[in-house]
Amino acid sequence: MLAQLAAFLLGLLAGGMLVIAVVLVPFWSALPPADLRAWFARHAGRTGALMFPLGAAATAAAAAAWLADRARWPALAAGAAAGVVAVT
């Protein structure tokens, strides 16, 4: 059950990152620097309010799955999720 929850949360995290890459990055690239800074000042909190808890939940679920099963794949998933959260 924990492994399925971890997979679900990691899928949501990956989907959120894909939306950022496909939708927001082209939008950001088209903005002049001053407008980009203004956009980030207004909206960065919303992105962080979604992505940071989602990343933390995915990391926690993957770590719990690893602790429950002591298998290699949940450990790899927990490490990867922690890396994504750290980089973000």
Residue 39 has pLDDT above 90, yes or no: yes
Mean pLDDT is lowest, of 4-8, 54-58, 70-74, for 70-74
Q: What backbone phi and psi angles, to 5 degrees, belong to 70?
A: 55, 35
* pLDDT tens for each residue of 2-38: 888 988 999 999 999 999 999 999 999 999 999 999 9
pTM (whole model) above 0.85: no
Q: What backbone phi and psi angles, to 5 degrees, belong to 71?
A: -100, 165
Q: Residue 46 corresponds to which tokens in the numbers above?
A: 């919303």
Residue 74 has pLDDT above 90, yes or no: no
pLDDT at 28: 95
pLDDT at 23: 95
